[in-house]
Structure 1
Amino acid sequence: MQNIKSMTGFASVRVNVSSGSLAMDLRSVNSRYLEATFKLPDNFKYLDTQLREILKSTVQRGKFEMSFAFIPAASENLHLNQALVQKLCNSLKEIKAHFPEGSADLTQVLLYPGVIAENNEQSREELSAEIVANFRELLKALIANREREGARLASVISEKIDALEKCLEPVKDQLDTLVAQERAKLQARLKVLKADVDENRLEQEVALLAQKADIAEEYDRLCSHISEVRRILKEGGSCGKRLDFMMQEFNREANTMASKASNLALTKIAVELKVLIEQMREQVQNIE
C-alpha cells in the first residue's frame, strides 16, 4: 500500500554550503498535469534540466514552483570579466549621452550578473552537487507534507463514503415495496375518478409504472461504487484520477435515481446523495 498524496504542499530549506548560504522554497498546488517553474538566477540556470528530471521521477501531478537564493561567501578566487565590463561601460556612456540627467554609475556595472565570478570550476561543481542534494531533501520534505495532507483527505473521503452508504439504507427497504406503492397510488387515483378498470389492465399499468420507477440497478451500482472507492483508498498511491472518475459515476447514478424517484423520501435521499458526492469531489480534486 502506498501513501495517498495531496497535490498541495510546501517545504523550505536554509543551509550553509561550501561556498555560501543557500535558500530554497518549493510549493505545489492542484493541476491536471505535472508543471514546474524554477526561479533560478542566470548563473544557476544550467541546473534547470537536472532539477526537472529529479522532480519528474518523483511526483506524478501538480503545479510546482521553486524560489532560489544563493549568497556567496567571501572568496579569494574572484575573476573580473573585463570584456563584459567594457561592453557595459560603452553602453553606459551611450545612455548618459542620451539621458545626461541619469544616475547610472560603475557600481551598477559591478552588480551585473557575470561581471564578477568565482574563477574555480571545481568550486562550481561542488556547489552544484550541494544544490542538487539539498533539492532532493527539499523534495522529500514536500512529499512528506503532501502525504500528511493526503492522509487527511483520504480520511474525509472515507467518512463521506460511510455517510453515503448509510444514506442508501432506506432505499434498500423501499425496493421490495415499490410495486405495492405504485399499485396503491394508481388505485387511489382511480377511486377519485370513480373509474372501473379491468384487473389485468390495472396490473399492466402498475408494472409499467414500477418499471419506470425501478431504482434497483442504480442502487446496486452505487453500492458497487462504494466498494470500489474503498478499494482505491486502501490501495493508495497516485489515485486522484481514478477517484475523480468514480465521483462522475456516483453523480450519474444519483441523477438517474433523482429522475426516477416516485416519492418524496426517495427525492430527499437522492438530493442528500448528490450533496455528499459533491463534498467528496471537492476533496478528490486535491489528490495526486
Structure 2
Amino acid sequence: MTGFGKAEAALPNKKITVEIRSLNSKQLDLNLRLPGVYRQAEYEIRNLIARAVERGKVDVFVTIESQAVQTAARINREAFREYLRQMNDALSFSGIDADYDALVPCIMRLPDVVSTDAETISDEEHAALLSAVERAAAELDAFRTQEGAILIADLLQRVDKIEACLREVEPYEKTRVETVKARILEGLAQLKVDVDRNRLEQEMIFYLEKLDITEEKVRLKNHCNYFREVAAAEQAAGRKLGFIAQEMGREINTLGSKANQADIQVLVIQMKDELEKIKEQVLNIL
C-alpha cells in the first residue's frame, strides 16, 4: 500500500528531517538512507518502522540541515608548533630562508597534526531523531489507513454489483428450464423415434438437476456476506479477503458453466469483471 510520512526535529544548531515512502509489497522491504553520524541509531530506527509498517517496500530518508559550520577534523596545535619549530631550526642551521607558503602545507600532512574525532551524537539529538522517526511513521500509517478506507469502500461497491448481477439471474432460471426441455423435445421429435415417456421424464429430471445453480447462488451470496464481515471487523485483512475472492471466483465459474443460457452468461461475465477488479485492489490492502 502506498503512503508518505514526514516529520522534522529542530535542535539549537541543526534540523533533522525524516521522510518515509512506501509502495505495495508482500513482505517488509526496508531501505534506510541516513547520515553516517546516525548509523549508531540504525537498529533502533529499523525497529520503530517495523512496528508501524507490517509490509511494503519502504524507503526512509534522514537528512540534516546545520546552521553552524561543523567538522570532525581537529588541528593539534602543539604538534603543529613543534614541527614548525624543528623545521625553522633545520632551515636556519642549513642557511635556508623559510618559505611558509610551502612549509605550512607540508606540516599539515605530517603525522598527528590533523586528527578526526569519532562522530557521536548527544542524548538530546538521539532522542530528537527517534521522535522524528516515530512521528513520520505515524503519519505514514495515517496516510495508509485513509487510503485503505477508500479501497475497502471501492471493494464493497464491487461486491454489491456482483450481488446485483446474482439477483438478476433469478428471472432467467425458470425460462431457462423451459427452454432446455423444449430443446430436448424438439430434438427427439426430429429423430422420429418412439420414446418411453416415463424414462424420458426421469432422464430429463436428472439432466435439469445437473444444471441447477441454487447451491452456487447460495454459496456466492454467503461469500459476499463474509467478505463484508472481514472487511469491516478485521485488521490486516488483505490476504483473507484475497482467499474469499478466490472462493467467489469458483462459484461464479461454476455458475457460468451450468448456466446454459445467454442472458445468464452475460451476467456471469459482468460478475467476473468486477471480481478481477476486486482481486487487483485486494493486493493493495495489508
What's the TM-score, normalizing by structure 2? 0.79
Find the aligned partners of 1:130 and 1:116 in 2 and give their Cα distance: 25
Q: Which residue of 2 aligns with 1:8?
A: 2
Number of corresponding residues = 251
Give 2:60's aligned residue: 66
Counterparts of residues 173-252 of structure 1 (less than 5 Å):
173-175=171-173, 179-252=177-250
Give the aligned partner of residue 3 of structure 1: none
Displacement of 1:82 in angstroms is 7.5
Secondary structure of the residue aligned to 2:122 is helix
Say whether the 8 Å CA contact 1:158–1:230 is kept in structure 2.
Answer: yes
The structure-2 alpha-carbon separation of the partners of 1:52 and 1:166, relative to structure 1 and needing over 3 Å to count, comes to same
If the length of structure 1 is used for normalisation, what is the TM-score?
0.78
Give the match for residue 164 of structure 2: 166
Residue matched to 2:124: 126
Query: Alpha-carbon deviation of 1:201?
Result: 2.0
Task: Decide which of 152, 155, 171 is 2:153's aligned counterpart.
Answer: 155
Deviates more, 1:41-50 or 1:173-182: 173-182
1:27-73, CA deviations, whole angstroms, 9 ceiling, x for partnerless residues? 11111122211112222122221112112222322221111211334
Task: Identify the match of residue 53 of structure 1 among 30, 40, 47.
Answer: 47
Give the corresponding residue for 2:279. 281
Partner amino acid, structure 2, of 1:259: S
Give SS of 2:52's match.
coil
CA deviations 1:131-181 (Å, max 9, x no partner) are 100111101111111111111111111111111110001223445565444
- Deviation for aligned residue 1:261: 1.9
| Aligned partner letter, 1:283 | Q
Question: d(CA) in 2 for partners of 1:182 and 1:82?
Answer: 98
Q: Matched residues in 2 for 1:188 and 1:82: separation?
A: 106
Residues 177 and 220 from structure 1, CA distance in 2 versus in 1: closer, same or farther, beyond 3 angstroms?
Answer: farther
Return the letter of the residue paired with 2:246: Q
Structure 1 residue 118, shift from structure 2 partner: 7.9
For 1:17 and 1:118, how far apart are their aligned partners in 2?
Answer: 21
- The code of the aligned residue for 1:202 comes to L
Provide the residue aligned with 1:253 in structure 2: 251
Q: What is residue 26 of structure 1 aligned with on the other side? A: 20
* One-letter identity of the residue aligned with 1:43: V
Q: Which has the larger radius of gyration?
A: 2
Q: What secondary structure, in the 3-state scheme, does the structure 1 residue paired with 2:54 have?
A: coil
Query: Percent identity at matched positions?
Result: 30
Where 1:57 maps in the other structure, the secondary structure is helix
- How far the C-alpha of 1:188 sits from its partner, in A, is 2.0
* Aligned mates of 1:251, 1:193 — CA distance in 2: 40
Could you tell me whether the CA contact under 8 Å between 1:20 and 1:73 is conserved in 2?
yes
1:37 aligns with 2:35: no
Q: Distance in 1 between matches of 2:72 and 2:188?
A: 102
- CA distance in 2: counterparts of 1:222 and 1:159, whole angstroms: 16
Structure 2 residue aligned with 1:144: 142
Which position in structure 1 is the counterpart of 2:270? Answer: 272
Q: Distance in 1 between matches of 2:11 and 2:170?
A: 66
AA aligned to 1:65 is: D
Q: Partners in 2 of 1:285 and 1:233 — Cα distance?
A: 14
Task: Give the C-alpha shift of residue 195 in structure 1.
Answer: 3.5
In the alignment, the residues of structure 2 paired with residue 49 and residue 24 of structure 1 have an alpha-carbon distance, to the nearest angstrom, of: 16
Task: Return 5+ residue gaps in structure 1 as ranges.
Answer: 1-6, 84-104, 110-114
Q: CA deviation at 1:184?
A: 2.2
SS in 2 for 1:282: helix
Which stretches in structure 2 are left out of the alignment for 5+ residues? 77-104, 110-114
